[in-house]
Structure 1
Amino acid sequence: MAAKVTDFTQLRKRLKAARVKGAPSHALGQARLMMDAWIDAAESHGMPVSEALRRIRDGAAARQIAEEVAHTQLSSNSGIAANAACRAGCAFCCILKGEDGGTIGADEARRLHKALLPLIGQPDGRQWHENACPALDPETRMCRAYDARPMICRSYMSVDVAACERIAEGQPADGAGVLGAQMIHLALLALSRAAMAGIAMVPTYSMAKLAQMAVDGASLDEALTMARHGPRGLVDELARQAEAMKRVP
């Protein structure tokens, strides 16, 4: 029988007891504090506990928290954000490597699918580069789902355009990487999954597959089914991002 959570006290207990493997301890510690604060805010604003559970399950809570972290990091006067060489139309970071192309939560997947629906049947980023994100305009290389772009897109930065081009070609290069907000986001998703154990699964998805299926005309349910990760998808991405963070300037 599935477990029941009927009040915020029980939800806090679940969060406190949740154990996550694979996430760096500092990121997990931050994620736990931020999720606890989010739960406090939800209760103080009169949100029903059922709605709080839904937002945690769908990754909406994780996305909201991580976007606030990203905003703070992008406003910083130091580090990669202050020295970014990123410009509109410089889309080498939108050439998606591997089959996954980025790990996203259910809330991000639904937002991205909705934003891409108007592009069905139109030329997309794959006309510029076979592995480019379908959200790109192939002529301008501008993202046509910019407001709905997932955290992996929001947090990717570079201090060297040439490094991005080499990485897109499959060559290792320093100077590009993701802000810490992405690791916080992944840790939040993993923490949400652990806290929701026995209640509901907190899924993750391949951004590349989701975007491709959306512009090819697949329904939301079809796209979610085909793009959904297996149980180790999030764990493996946490490990990969932890290694990548070591190379961020």
Structure 2
Amino acid sequence: MSKSARAALDYPALRRKLTKARARGMPDFLEDRGRRLLDAWLATSASEARPLPRTLARLASGDAAREIGEITGAQIRAEQPEVLTNAACAAGCAFCCILLEGDGGLIGEAEATALHGALAPFAGQPDGRAWHAHACAALDPETRQCRAYEARPTVCRSFLSVDAEACRENAEGGDEDGSGMLGNHLDYLTVLALSREVMRGTALLHTYSLEALAQAACDGAPLDAALKAARHPTSELEETCEDIGNSPS
């Protein structure tokens, strides 16, 4: 980025870029909602005089998207929707952590870094794969509880089920109903996609495979190597958004 471009970049410029940004693949209503959420975050950052370099770093790492997803998740939980009051999730259930399809979920660099830091102390020890070949490495193989629970990404925090038996059947290759994601995960992905567009020409926002990152950390890879091993192609975020846009409402 040139010196003149850096000099011209400020909070009003970021917010102007956001008005033109697209979360390609996402339905219009989610894109509009994500734009409002990110614009409010930028407005707050400006009003509190947060240093611009720090704000840019948080956008590029996905930490802004993580914070926004955390805020909207707290709002959803405060309303106590029926799906939450009927949730069947319990410590050690872990069927949702058997990753038969996909790669465990798309995460940003801030979440990937936090996950690596939480799992690095367990490097070389038996992990979730000792319980089940397709289990997330973050699991303790004996208790089947997450060793990185406090650092777990938005995709994990948002998942829930009202039918534990359906989760067990799905972990064996079934296709039962009863599980899903809270809406704040959609907020996270949408804001992540918009953040990438806002940062275009300044920094590249990378995304990562949760499964691959957890495995690399548990196998003892240092952070840089784990990030490299788990990094998605740049098309992955847009394809994830398209999958959501094409799914039945």
Give the Cα–Cα distance (whole angstroms) in 2 for the partners of residues 242 and 172 of structure 1.
20
Q: CA deviation at 1:92?
A: 0.3
Deviation of 1:239 after TM superposition, in Å, equals 2.6
2:16 to 10, 13, 21: 13
The runs of 5 or more residues in structure 1 that have no matched partner are none
In structure 1, the residue matched to 2:195 is 192
What letter is aligned with 1:202?
L
Mapped to 1, the partners of 2:220 and 2:191 lie a distance apart of 31
Equivalent residue for 2:153? 150
In 1, Cα distance between equivalents of 2:247 and 2:217: 29
Q: Distance in 1 between matches of 2:44 and 2:56?
A: 14
Residue aligning to 1:68: 71
Answer whether contact 1:66 1:184 (CA < 8 A) is retained: yes
Give SS of 1:113's match: helix
Map of 1:123-202 to 2, 5 A cutoff?
A: 123-202=126-205
Q: Which residue of 2 aligns with 1:116?
A: 119
What residue is the counterpart of 1:83 in the other structure? 86
Gap regions ≥5 residues in structure 2:
none
Per the TM alignment, residue 77 of structure 1 is displaced from its structure 2 partner at its CA by: 2.6
Quote the residue 2:219 is aligned against. 216
Between the aligned partners of 1:165 and 1:81, the Cα distance in structure 2 is 19
Letter in 1 for 2:34: A
SS of alignment partner, residue 180 of structure 2: strand
Superposition TM-score, scaled by structure 2 size: 0.94
For each residue in 1:89-121, what CA deviation from the matched residue of structure 2 results, as whole angstroms up to 9, or x when unmatched?
110011123351110001000000000001111
Which of 161-170 and 139-148 deviates more? 161-170
Cα displacement (A) at 1:71: 1.6
Task: Look up the SS of the partner of 1:80 in the other structure.
Answer: helix
- CA–CA separation in structure 1 for the residues paired with 2:145 and 2:224: 27
Residues 5-63 of structure 1 deviation map (CA, whole Å, 9 limit, x = unaligned): 53111111111121231012121111111111111111122211111111001000000
Under a length normalisation based on structure 1, what TM-score does the superposition of the two structures give? 0.94
Percent identical among aligned pairs is 47
Q: Is the 8 A contact 1:73 1:81 kept in 2?
A: no
Give the equivalent residue in structure 2 for 1:206.
Answer: 209
For 1:187 and 1:9, the matched residues in 2 are separated by 21
Equivalent position of 2:51 in the other structure: 48
**Structure 1 residue 177 displacement after superposition:** 0.8
Is residue 76–residue 82 contact of structure 1 (8 Å, CA) maintained in 2?
no
Check whether the contact 2:25–2:244 (CA below 8 A) recurs between aligned residues: no
